[in-house]
């Protein structure tokens, strides 16, 4: 097969679209992770006041499709005077959507810590805050790490929905190429490959983090 200028242009479009997908998803995942972590720390610190609002939020966001949430953020918020660009709306809605999943991941991480580890901290005069910071958080993170990576991959795949509000990410770009060339197999095969590559990158990054987190240099 000869490599024509059209091919190079096509490749270039895929690379650009991949960067849009990756950028939007990673930004949303990081914001979502931060919100989820915060939600969880608040939930631990104020169990009586916050456990019901927390459950309500999780129930509401997890129980509705991401598509509808994106629609409300992109088309609904302008009604109250808040107009977001397609990129902003995607990042905001994806961050919100993923935050409750991330919060639940952190929650399960915290629940996985054996009560004896906290008792040992208590018995040795380590206070509540130090225990949270030095005993619980590192353990919860190590436990949660693979799940965080998994959820990030899900965010990347969910970002395809943003094609309906014309965000020039992978799925939207592929759709355009398909409608211009009437070739379905080639572009969609490439699309699959692109998403797969992104997922592999995340998996590699997670493995790297895991090695870092458990390296002996991190001894207290």
Partner 1 sequence: MTLPILQLRAVGKSYGTVRVLKGVDLDVKRGEIVSLIGPSGSGKTTLLRCINFLEAYDEGEVWIKGQLLGYHSKGRTPQDRDSEAVIAEVRRPVSMVFQQFNLWPHMTVLGNVAAPLVLAKKINKTEAHRLAGLALERVGLAAKVDAYPAQLSGGQQQRVGIARALAIEPEVMLLDEPTSALDPELVEEVLSVIRELAHEGMTMVMVTHEMSFAAKISDHVVFMEAGRIVEAGPPARLFGKSATPRIQQFLKPWLDRSLSI
Q: Footprint of partner 1 on this chain (CB under 8 A)?
A: 114, 116-117, 119-128, 130, 134-135, 138-139, 142, 213-214, 216, 219-220
Task: State how far the Cα of 71 lies from the Cα of 63, in Å rounded to an integer.
Answer: 16
Q: Measure the CA–CA gap between 71 and 76, rounded to whole angstroms.
A: 7
**Under 8 Å between Cβ of 144 and 106:** yes
In whole angstroms, the minimum distance from the beta carbon of 217 to partner 1 comes to 10
Q: How far is the CB of 38 from partner 1 (least distance, A)?
A: 22
Among 180, 164, 134, smallest CA distance to 9 is for 180
Closer to partner 1 by CB, 128 or 207: give it.
128
Least spacing, CB of residue 104 vs partner 1, in Å: 22
Phi, psi of 63 (to 5 degrees): -90, 0
Q: How far is the CB of 141 from partner 1 (least distance, A)?
A: 9
CB of 138 to partner 1, least distance (A): 5
Closer of 49 and 130 to partner 1 (Cβ): 130
State how far the Cα of 121 lies from the Cα of 105, in Å rounded to an integer: 24
User: Which CB, 124 or 182, lies closer to partner 1?
Assistant: 124
To the nearest whole angstrom, how small is the minimum distance from the Cβ of residue 155 to partner 1?
A: 27
Residue 16 or 108: which CB sits closer to partner 1?
Answer: 108
Cβ contact 110:54 at 8 Å:
no
User: Quick one: 85 or 130, whose CB is closer to partner 1?
Assistant: 130
DSSP annotation string for 59-111: HHHHTS-HHHHHHIIIIIGGGGT----HHHHHHHHHHHHHHHHHHHHHHHHHH
Residue with smaller CB distance to partner 1, 7 or 133: 133
Measured distance CA(62)–CA(104) in Å, rounded = 10
Nearest Cα to 156, choosing from 28, 2, 56, 8?
Answer: 28
């Amino acid at each position: 097969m000869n490599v024509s200028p059209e091919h190079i242009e096509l490749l270039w479009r895929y690379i650009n679209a991949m960067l849009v997908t990756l950028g939007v998803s990673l930004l949303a995942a990081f914001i979502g992770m931060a919100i989820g972590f915060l939600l969880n720390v608040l939930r631990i610190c104020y169990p009586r006041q916050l456990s019901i609002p927390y459950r309500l939020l999780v129930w509401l966001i997890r129980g509705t499709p991401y598509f509808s949430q994106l629609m409300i953020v992109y088309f609904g918020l302008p009604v109250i005077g808040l107009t977001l660009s397609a990129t902003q709306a995607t990042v905001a809605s994806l961050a919100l959507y993923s935050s409750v999943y991330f919060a639940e991941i952190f929650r399960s991480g915290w629940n996985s810590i054996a009560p004896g580890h906290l008792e040992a901290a208590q018995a040795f005069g380590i206070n509540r805050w130090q225990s949270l910071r030095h005993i619980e958080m590192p353990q919860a993170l190590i436990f949660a790490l693979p799940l965080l990576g998994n959820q990030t991959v899900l965010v990347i795949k969910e970002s395809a929905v943003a094609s309906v509000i014309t965000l020039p990410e992978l799925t939207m770009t592929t759709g355009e190429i398909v409608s211009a060339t009437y070739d379905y197999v080639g572009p969609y095969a490439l699309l699959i490959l692109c998403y797969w590559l992104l997922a592999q990158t995340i998996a590699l990054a997670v493995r790297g983090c895991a090695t870092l987190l458990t390296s002996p240099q991190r001894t207290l």
